[in-house]
Amino acid sequence: MTASFAGLSLARPLIMGIINVTPDSFSDGGLALDPAEAIARGRMLLDDGADILDVGGESTRPGAEPVPVEVELERVLPVVRGLAGGGAVVSMDTRKAQVMEAALAAGAAIINDVTALTGDRRSLEVAAGNGAAVVLVHMRGVPGTMQDDPRYDDAAKEVFGYLSGRVAVCEAAGIERSRIAVDPGIGFGKTVDHNTGILGRLDLYRELGCALLIGVSRKTFIARLSKGEPPCQRLAGSLAAALAGVARGVHILRVHDVAETRQALDVWEAIGGT
Catalytic residue among 81, 190, 234, 254: 254
Contacts of residue 136, defined as CB under 8 A and 6 or more positions apart, other chains included, come to 113, 116, 117, 163, 166, 167, 170, 180, 181, 182, 183
Cβ(110)–Cβ(91) below 8 Å: yes
Catalytic residue among 219, 224, 227, 248: 219
Question: How far is residue 253's CA from residue 243's CA, in Å, rounded to a whole number?
Answer: 9
Give catalytic status of residue 254 as yes or no: yes
What distances in angstroms separate CA 5 from CA 91, 165, 195, one per listed residue? 12, 20, 25
Whose CA is closest to 52, among 262, 257, 254?
254
Cβ(261)–Cβ(237) below 8 Å: no
Give catalytic status of residue 219 as yes or no: yes
Residues taking part in catalysis: 219, 254
